[in-house]
Amino acid sequence: MEDNKIREAVQFLSEGDKATRKGWFKKPEWDVAGQNYEKAASCFKAARSYDQAIQAYQKASDALFKSDSLYMAAKTMESAANLAAQQLKQPERASEMYKKASDLYQAHMTPDRAGEMLEKAARALEPVSVDGAIDYYVAACNLFESEDRGRFAVDTFKKTIAIMIKNKRYAEAVDIMHRLSKIYLGINHQQGLNKTYLSIIITLLALEDEVEAKKQFQLFCQNAFIQSEESAISSSLLDAFEQGDQDLLDQVVRRPIVTYLDNNVAKLSREIQVPGGLSKPPPTTYIPPPKPITSNNDRLQGHEQKNDFPIYNQHQNDSYFLHNQEQKGNLNDFAEKKSNSLHDQLQKNDKRLPDENAPYNISDKAEVLPTGDQIHLPSSTTPVPPSHSNSNQNTSIEEDNGELC
């Protein structure tokens, strides 16, 4: 099948060449030649002979241009560029053909399609030549502005800004942002304008041009931007630079207003560093000193003195563990001796003191005389039981000439 398509394509090429010849009474038929070349290109494309298809499309574009069919000439050139970019992976060749297609569209007075071709050329060339891609993007922006088609070029401007910031060409990005802000002013798009102004402030701070950032901020505040959240964020960023506070800057760039900006601008805001800025040191964690290496005998002794729980002993320091055990043993001995001495003292007191619960009979200790009111006690002094004594006084019964005192 492919061979048949190629033979068919060669036949269309020969017919196209025949239509371009001129004779004594014949003029070149460029429109017929263009149609034959285009058919040949389609056959080569179906046969997957892409290089020959590109050559046929180029011949068709030249023939159609000579026949004053500018739009079709641009269309066939665009088809050739698509094959070079997508099938043959030849970005330089594709970008050149996209540029020719853009010129043809512009000659046909279709600036939107012309700008689109320049944008395609930039995308095709971006992997191999960033500078060339930026040139094509800027050319597309210039084309839209010159034709007063800015409202249709917002995406192109954003792509241009993105590739410039990605490749750290911040000064050029600021210039494109200013041009984009004028477009937003023209179409009365306040939200887009506020985001663009904030992006300009962030990019200038990335350039460490704080003075210019303040000037631009004062100019921006002359309109409705001063009432927006983007204005408050811009003011906070400038305050962080003025105070040299890196922590404040990091807090501001984490706010949703900044994260909702274009991806490259949001990433750039997180990379900004305050010149000579101070930040709080990160919290430090306590790292305990390494455990001393002890012998296995010490470890075995520690297990015997403490208990048989290896999980508990695993977290103990051996020397500290043994010291604690010695102190506990001394305390236990001291407590036992103290308890024994108190017990002996209580036994002695029990022998000297009568039972508090037993009834006290004074007749057991004293003899009552039959005559008089005198009571004779034994010569020894008998203490009064605690139940009959005052807590603050010691009452004693003494023998004094046979009288009770």
Tell me the average pLDDT of the chain: 78
Mean per-residue pLDDT, 344-349: 61
* pLDDT, position 347: 61
150-278 CATH, one of 3.30.70.270, 3.40.50.150, 1.10.260.40, 1.25.40.10: 1.25.40.10
Position 149 confidence tier, pLDDT thresholds 50, 70, 90: confident
Residue pair 49/6 in contact by the 8 Å Cβ criterion: yes
User: d(Cα 160, Cα 175) in Å, to the nearest integer?
Assistant: 11
Provide the β-strand partners of residue 400: 403
Residue pair 204/192 in contact by the 8 Å Cβ criterion: no
* pLDDT, position 303: 45
* pLDDT, position 327: 54
For 253-267, what is each residue's pLDDT tens digit?
A: 999 999 999 999 999
Percentage of the chain lying above the pLDDT 70 cut: 68
* pLDDT, position 286: 46
Residue bearing tokens 């046929």: 56
* pLDDT, position 398: 40
Provide the β-strand partners of residue 278: 245
Mean per-residue pLDDT, 313-341: 54
* Domain range list for the chain: 1-68, 70-147, 150-278
Provide the β-strand partners of residue 397: 382
CA 216 from chain centre, in angstroms, equals 29
For the cut 60, the answer to whether the pLDDT of residue 278 exceeds it is no
